[in-house]
Structure 1
Amino acid sequence: MKIVKTLNVPAEFFYQQIINSVIFDIRKSTGETVKEHQLTNYSYVKEFSKSSRAKITIEEAQKNQRYRFNTSTVRNEFNVTYDIKAVSDSQCEVTYTEEMTSHGVLQKANDTLFGLFLVPFKKKQLVKMLESMEASY
């Protein structure tokens, strides 16, 4: 899945919003306080419920340009990238890319079937999130 959207916010603002959210999530999930410069290659486990958890690895945090992470569960692996390009001092173009790899033939078939229905919904939710970040500026 790929979404490209121009936002009326500076690249620095958008990137910092992502980083603040990530640092908050790490603190909430682990109790650790991590600084921005420590994020690249940082991994932690996030528990969604008693029977559902994921290992999240931040693969890249390139200031004002890119944020990339991997989420791995027993069923799937998600690779997400936010590429941020400054268009002007007050605008940036965000390219969101998400790739999913399913573990196992049955899981892959299940994800393909549900993906047909869920991808449009996920895209709509992501655009709403981006617009909400823009509105908070």
Structure 2
Amino acid sequence: MENIHQTAITLRFRGDDLDPEELTSLLGAIPTNAATKGAPLQSTGGRERVAKTGHWHLRVDPAEPGEEFDEQLIRLFKQLTPDLDAWRYLSERYVGNLFVGFFLGTSNMGVEISSETLSAISARGLELGLNIYSHSDE
């Protein structure tokens, strides 16, 4: 099976009463992006809007060909607390997920996720969301 061309992973938490400082303290990392509900936000295009809910996001550098998904996820988790009680507290209080984008180099590629990686995601109470972006052979 041919490897995925590129993988992007973002850890995301959201909730109406989410306090980004609390998550930063408990997880031990500074988010890539965070806001409280009702906070003003500005898009990359400069358009202003208001946060509909609180959020805390941490993006890991994209994986390139040759780096396995499991290795990239380990890089993300190494930045964060290993304290599973803290993770369970957050996952019970907020919606937590891993947003994963798989970018295909050809129209037929695949990825395998080890049972250890699936276990690490589950132990943290996180949902796993997969977005697959297909390469066009045209």
Q: What TM-score results when the alignment is normalised by the length of structure 1?
A: 0.31
Decide which structure has greater strand share: 1
Higher relative contact order (CA 8 A, sep 6+): 2
Q: What TM-score results when the alignment is normalised by the length of structure 2?
A: 0.30
